[in-house]
Amino acid sequence: MTAATLPALTGAHRLAKTGELAAWAVVARKDNTGFGRGAADLRRVLGLGQHFVCPSDRIDGRPPEGDDERWLRPDVSEDELAALLGTVKGILFFETHGVWHPSLLKVARALGVKTVCIPTWEWFRGNDPMWALCDLFACPTKFTVDVVTRFGWKQARYLPWTLDLDRFPARRINGPARLFIHNAGLVDRDDRKGTRDAIRAFTRVKRDDLRLIVRMQNDVPLPPLDSRIEVRIGDLADPGDLYAIGDVAIQPSKMEGIGFMVIEPVASGLPVLTTNYPPMNEFVRQPEMLTRLKWFERKAYANNWVKQAHLRLPRISDLARQIEWCARNDMAPFSAANRRFAESTFDPTSLRRQWAECLAAL
């Protein structure tokens, strides 16, 4: 789930824009999807100078605002595209086919504009020859590096995701869990985020003192609910409010590209139950919080011609057992460990340095 609006740049983020990365732009949607939030994170944390806004396809997007945001529609001429790209040193873009201009890489290469793709491994079409025009794959998880390099592309490097810690509360959970939360975002037909699995597992736990809050951006059919479960539909004005309540986040994702629904509660200091499969288990490292997979069972995604796009199915009985375990045990060590991990991994100064050094070397 994402926010309807994002806060203005802070003083620290404005200072970041005075550096060399101010000559770069992000090419992405501007909306309430994960990619829209990701584009905002990239600009705020790295201090990118411009946002070339692509039209949104899944939900209503927002138009460019100010002098540092401009439309980049996929149907403009190559001359118009060249005029826009000529204003920057390099571009960062998500690997989402059909969103950005089909000649983006070709025109950028002709102009000497550096191109950095942030791949979402599950949809990565690694056999496409256009990737030879890409200067770098900036992979937000180590699992993504493995997928990209297996296709033979050597210009891949792991760079921690540019999560803006300032947007999230620093929670300290103490004692056994009583209030569980699940953030679904946009629920798709395959229920990638495991919303129905979270509900089914919770209803197996027969404790009247537990509650579950499910947040979704869209209204979809759900399994039978009991009186302990509350469903909230719609966006929030502040993304930090997603994690302002709750003792444990239940996020049994079947497949994650970057994994915002797992990273964000971890960064907020919430203990997180998630599926024991990458990239989810790159961020949740405690064995007690990792849900086992169903043996020898996986579901091909609707676009199963992308060979690695398979849903890994969580074992509902194991997730129910873990929910009950969290309700009996002190969550303080898990909360503190998650926040320490986030403050180390997503320290803004360190992130800017790592990304700036990598981009400067291109």
Provide the 8-state DSSP code for 58.
S
* Closest to 250 in 3D by CA, of 279, 275, 231, 269: 275
Dist. CA 260–CA 26, nearest whole Å = 18
Write out the two tokens for 306: 């992308």
Write out the two tokens for 153: 């592309």
Give the residue carrying structure tokens 């806004």.
Answer: 53
Burial label for 228, CB within 10 Å (0-12, 13-18, 19+), is middle
Dist. CA 122–CA 182, nearest whole Å = 22
Dist. CA 338–CA 60, nearest whole Å = 34
Record: fold of 11-162+347-360: Rossmann fold (3.40.50)
Q: What angle do CA 63, 122, 97 make, to 5 degrees?
A: 40
Query: Which tens digit of pLDDT belongs to each residue from 72-115?
Result: 999 999 999 999 999 999 999 998 766 889 999 999 999 999 99
* Closest to 115 in 3D by CA, of 103, 126, 127, 123: 103
Q: What angle do CA 35, 360, 139 make, to 5 degrees?
A: 35
Tell the CATH superfamily of the 167-343 domain: Glycogen Phosphorylase B; (3.40.50.2000)
Where in the chain are all domains bearing CATH 3.40.50.2000? 11-162+347-360, 167-343
pLDDT in 10s for each residue of the chain, 362 residues: 333 333 444 433 433 444 779 999 999 999 888 888 889 999 999 999 999 999 987 778 899 999 999 999 999 999 999 999 999 999 999 987 668 899 999 999 999 999 999 998 887 889 999 999 999 999 999 999 999 999 999 999 999 999 999 999 999 999 999 999 999 988 988 899 999 999 999 999 999 999 999 999 999 999 999 999 999 999 887 778 899 999 999 999 998 888 899 999 999 999 999 999 999 999 999 999 999 998 756 565 544 556 677 788 999 999 999 999 999 999 999 999 999 999 999 999 999 999 999 999 99
Q: Phi then psi for 232, rounded to 5 degrees?
A: -120, 130
Plot region of 244 (φ>0 → left; ψ -120 to 50 → alpha; else → beta): alpha
Q: Enter the pTM of the model.
A: 0.88
Query: Which tens digit of pLDDT belongs to each residue from 286-310?
Result: 999 999 998 756 565 544 556 677 7
